[in-house]
Structure 1
Amino acid sequence: MTISFSDWLSESIEHFRTSDRSVVSRIARPPYYVYVGAFLTATQQRQYGTNIFDREWDTLIVLDACRVDALREVADEYDFITQVNSITSVGSTSFEWLNHTFSAEYLEDIQETAYITGNGYTERVFESDGHTGHAPIPFGPENYNVVDSSDFGYLEELWRVDFEDSSEWIIGSGDGRRVNPRYTTDRTIQAIRNSELDRSIVHYMYPHDPYPLAGESLQRPFDPLKAGTASRDDVWGAYLDNLKLVLDEVELLLENIDSERVVITADHGEAFGEYGFYRHVIGCPIPCMRRVPWVKTTATDKGKYEPTAPKYSLNDSVAVQDRLEQLGYL
């Protein structure tokens, strides 16, 4: 997050002059980021929400941008989902969730944790002072008490891999093109089968948009939804399809690792127009963004599947900015 009063002021003026959004939206934007500065300052000093390390689990499966009500809607299709409870997340964006979750306060736990993640914010949070690409705010915390990449028992940043369009690990096309969640499943199975660490976290970048299985007009649906050219029902349906795509992978994962205490959760939720919000917005307290699933289950390795996904090398890795742009952040 860029902390600069002058940048906030100049961007606010430029946005008001040039944005094609409504007058109300343009007027509301500057004070909202003043609020964000105050909110981030307060939550840095006092935890808001439940830190995952305060709960009991052996394997934590994070579904990026998964809503509680969405998971409840499809739960009957999956035997491993028997009850969908919820907790309040420590963030309404991945940036907040990573900073507050992997706090140095939990260093001992983190040192015994494997983190296999498709979320590109890891570099910016753990290595690059937290500059996220969000709009500048006039004041707020300059630094977070967050661990370094080297503090993890094991860290694999899956977002770094850069496949060719023709790769078997790519699904979708055009704006919907992205890495198949099977890649995350495969790398996680390999990591956990070879791990002696106490805990493992896998962070899928689904059901977060884009939606590779949807028609072209719904692959990146939130601008059309805001503009009224796409219906909420159609966008919600595409979102559920993206959720089921990753839940199919979770099912495969649970059949190929041994873990007595598994929890399925999310870093944050997603807004589809509630209170005028769309997607997920930094510092936002509304329930559809802040309440996330908490589903308990178990996993037993049946040994019937052998993963084939290659581990990325630095020679074929993608820049973090490219990956965040693909996800619509920059």
Structure 2
Amino acid sequence: MDARSRLSRAIGTPVLFCRHANRLYHRRLGLRRCNAGGVDPFDADWDNLLVLDACRYDMFERRADLPGRLERRESRASTTVEFLRANVDGRDLADTVYVTANPQLHQHRESIEARFAAVVDVWRDDGWSDEHGTVLPETVTERALRAAEEHPNKRLVVHYMQPHYPFVGADADFDGGDFTDAEADEENVWVQLLQGRLDADRSDIWECYDANLDRALPHVEEAMRELGGKTVVTADHGNMVGERAFPIPFREWGHPRGVYTPELVDVPWLVYEDGPRRAISESTPGERDAAADDVVAERLRDLGYAE
């Protein structure tokens, strides 16, 4: 959907118009392409950067019992695409391998120039769970450990899909549909909540959201302990669960692009050191295999990215 179509839809739907107006405020009428107050995670010192998709700082602080030192950081982004554009686009990352469960880098490969030493698209083929409509965290950890063996002198970015929708760690039904079913509706569940088409209590939604993070944490901890060196656990962005947006104070859901409330940009930064540091060297970026457009589109719909 192009910018004109988005604006037309927003004008015809009051709550989407309010969201669009808030975006104009946070992006200073388009003068900012990302959250100017956010930090660049790639400038930090680490051997492994484990990225939890859509994981709020307060959520992580409550649920995660992982070794290391936890801090609060501010992300540059409120969506994965924004995160990639703000931190990866046009950058020389020939010393880094990107292992990802999220198809967004591939989907936007024409507009995001990512110069990684290698990209491991876990969402392809046998890495994808048809049953759950996502990539499971144990699969991501397994591929990350394999990548570390194949690239022993590279920094490693490991992008987990959880706690992002679909919710594989909980079992809950709400009026209007199964909140855990990625096939239930092409519009993502947050849009249904935003528009009042899904009848659900916030506490029930939080239970599903928390359970999705809980489902991932043991596998994140396994990666922390097995990869060795200096590991940082963070998130690309957060998520709103019915809190009031700003400056127009309607109840917001999900993670709309270009809106930088604390719920959307406050992310965890957990530092864990275990054993000797990795000796890092650069290499020439390899060629990436193309994936069929219909496969990528289907993956994104299952993950709730359909607009």
Whether TM exceeds 0.5 here: the answer is yes
Shift, 1:242, TM fit: 0.8
Corresponding position of 1:262: 231
Unaligned runs of 5+ in 1: 17-22, 130-145, 164-168, 302-312
* Alignment pair present for 1:236 and 2:219: no
The answer as to whether partners of 2:95 and 2:116 remain within 8 angstroms in 1 is yes
Give the match's secondary structure for 1:43.
Answer: coil
Shift, 1:38, TM fit: 4.5
Aligned residue type for 1:69: D
Task: Provide closer, same or farther for how the CA distance between residues 319 and 153 of structure 1 changes in structure 2, counting only shifts above 3 A.
Answer: same
**What do you get for the CA RMSD once the two structures are aligned?**
3.0
Shift, 1:31, TM fit: 3.2
Name the one with the larger helix percent. 1
Shift, 1:210, TM fit: 0.8
The answer as to whether partners of 1:114 and 1:197 remain within 8 angstroms in 2 is no
Corresponding position of 1:58: 47
- In structure 2, which of residues 299, 302, 305 is the aligned counterpart of residue 323 of structure 1? 299
Aligned residue type for 1:281: P
Shift, 1:192, TM fit: 0.6
The answer as to whether partners of 2:26 and 2:260 remain within 8 angstroms in 1 is no
Q: In structure 1, how many angstroms separate the alpha carbons of the residues matched to 2:16 and 2:236? A: 28
Corresponding position of 1:219: 180
Shift, 1:199, TM fit: 1.1
Give the match's secondary structure for 2:31.
Answer: helix
* Alignment pair present for 1:42 and 2:32: yes
Task: Provide closer, same or farther for how the CA distance between residues 113 and 214 of structure 1 changes in structure 2, counting only shifts above 3 A.
Answer: same
Aligned residue type for 1:52: P
The answer as to whether partners of 2:24 and 2:30 remain within 8 angstroms in 1 is no
Corresponding position of 2:215: 245
Task: Provide closer, same or farther for how the CA distance between residues 92 and 40 of structure 1 changes in structure 2, counting only shifts above 3 A.
Answer: farther
Corresponding position of 1:170: 129
Give the match's secondary structure for 1:66.
Answer: coil
**TM-score, reference length from structure 2:** 0.78
Corresponding position of 1:88: 74
Task: Provide closer, same or farther for how the CA distance between residues 206 and 72 of structure 1 changes in structure 2, counting only shifts above 3 A.
Answer: same
Q: In structure 2, how many angstroms separate the alpha carbons of the residues matched to 1:179 and 1:26? A: 30
Q: In structure 1, how many angstroms separate the alpha carbons of the residues matched to 2:29 and 2:141? A: 35
- Give aligned pairs, total: 275
Give the match's secondary structure for 1:219.
Answer: coil
Shift, 1:325, TM fit: 0.7
Deviates more, 1:263-272 or 1:219-228: 219-228
Corresponding position of 2:285: none
Identity of aligned residues (%): 29
Give the match's secondary structure for 1:178.
Answer: coil
